[in-house]
Amino acid sequence: MASLKASLSLFDEVDLDELRKKSLAQSQLLMDLLTAVSDDLNEPIHLITPREDAERAGQVSVAFLNRDRGFFDQLLAHGIIADWREPGTIRFAVAPLYTSYRDLARLEIALRQTLTS
Q: How confident is the model at residue 74 (pLDDT cuts 50, 70, 90)?
A: very high
Amino acid at site 26: Q
pLDDT-derived band at 87 (thresholds 50, 70, 90) equals confident
In the chain, the percentage of residues whose pLDDT exceeds 90 is 74
Q: Is the pLDDT of residue 4 over 80?
A: no
**Which residues neighbour 117 within 8 Å (Cβ) at sequence distance 6 or greater?**
74
Sign of the CA dihedral running 82, 49, 70, 84: positive
pLDDT tens column, 20-67: 999 999 999 999 999 999 999 999 999 999 999 999 988 999 999 989
Answer yes or no: are the C-beta atoms of 33 and 104 closer than 8 Å: yes
Domain definitions of the chain by residue range: 11-116
Among 85, 94, 99, smallest CA distance to 56 is for 94
Contact assessment for residue 31 and residue 57, using Cβ atoms and an 8 Å cutoff: no
Fold of 11-116: Aspartate Aminotransferase, domain 1 (3.90.1150)
pLDDT at 15 over 80: yes
